[in-house]
A and B are shown apart, each in its own frame.
Chain A
Amino acid sequence: MELAGDPMISPTLFLQLLFNGVLLGGLYALLGSGLSLCFGVMKFFNVLHGSLTLLSCYFTYSIFSLVGLDPLLTSLILIPAYFFLGFFLRRYLIGRLRTFDDILIVGFSLTIVLKNIVLFIWGARPRGVYTSYSMLAIGIIGDIRVPLIYLTCFTISLIGLISLHLILKKTFLGMAIRAVAQDPETASAFGVNPSLIKDLTFGISLSFIALSGTLMSTIYNFDPSLEVLFLIKAISVVVLGGLGSVLGTLVGGVVLGLAECFAGIAGAQYQAFVGAIIFLIIVLIKPKGLFGVYAE
Chain B
Amino acid sequence: MNRDALTRTQAIIIVIVVVIAVIATLIYYAGLFGAATTPKPTPDYILIGGTADLTGPNAFVERIFVYGWKWAVDKINKQGGIYVREYNKKIPVKLIYYDDASDMSKAVSNMETLILKDNVLCMIGKMGPLAASATIPLAERYRVPTFGLAYYPDESVIKSKYYWSQPFESYEQHSSVLFSAINELKLETNRKVAILIMEDPLTTKFFDYYKETAKKYGFNIVYMEPFTILTSDYTVMITKMKESDAEVLIFLGIAPDAVTFWRQCKILNYRPKIALIVLGARTYGWVESMGKDGEYVCTLDFWHPTYPFRVAKYHATCKELAESWEKDTGEKWDSSLAEAADSIFIFADAIEMAGFLDREKVNEAMARVEGEYLSGYLKFIDRHLPVPDVLMQWQGGEKRIVWAPRDVPISIETPIAFPLPPWS
Q: Give A contacts to B, CB under 8 Å.
A: 1-6, 9, 13, 16-17, 20-21, 24, 115-116, 119, 123-128, 130, 134-137, 145, 147, 219-226, 229, 260-261, 264-265, 267-269, 271-273
Contact = CB atoms under 8 A, between A and B. Distances in A.
B154 interface: no
A138 to B, nearest CB: 10
B283 A2 contact: no
B41 interface: no
Nearest to A134: B263
B224 A221 contact: no
For the complex of A and B, 3 pairs with smallest distance between CB atoms: A128-B289, A268-B227, A264-B236
A255 B55 CA distance: 35
A145 B267 contact: yes
A24 B293 CA distance: 22
A163 B222 CA distance: 48
A125 B240 contact: no
B293 A135 contact: yes
Interface of B: 55-61, 63, 196, 199, 207, 221-228, 230-237, 239-240, 243-244, 254-256, 259-260, 263-264, 266-269, 283, 285, 288-291, 293, 331, 423
A2 B60 contact: no
A124 B235 contact: no
7 contacts: A4-B222, A6-B243, A130-B290, A134-B263, A221-B256, A261-B236, A271-B228
What secondary structure prevails in chain A residues at the interface with B? mixed
A6 B226 CA distance: 17
A223 to B, nearest CB: 7
A281 B43 CA distance: 66
Nearest to A6: B243
Given A4-B222, A126-B60, A260-B232, 20 more contacts: A3-B221, A3-B223, A6-B243, A20-B233, A116-B55, A125-B60, A125-B285, A126-B259, A126-B289, A127-B285, A134-B291, A145-B268, A219-B260, A219-B263, A221-B289, A223-B57, A224-B59, A226-B230, A226-B256, A269-B227
Nearest to B424: A135
A60 B351 CA distance: 50
B256 A222 contact: yes
A1 B267 CA distance: 25
A226 B293 CA distance: 24
B235 A123 contact: no
A135 B263 contact: yes
A128 B223 contact: no
A124 B58 contact: yes
Contacts of B58: 124
Contacts of A137: 266-269
Nearest to B263: A135
Contacts of A24: 232-233
Contact of B234 (A5, A134, A264): A264
Contact of B225 (A223, A224, A268): A268
Contacts of B244: 4-5
B288 A127 contact: yes
A206 B259 CA distance: 28
Given A20-B235, A268-B227, A268-B236, A223 B256 contact: yes
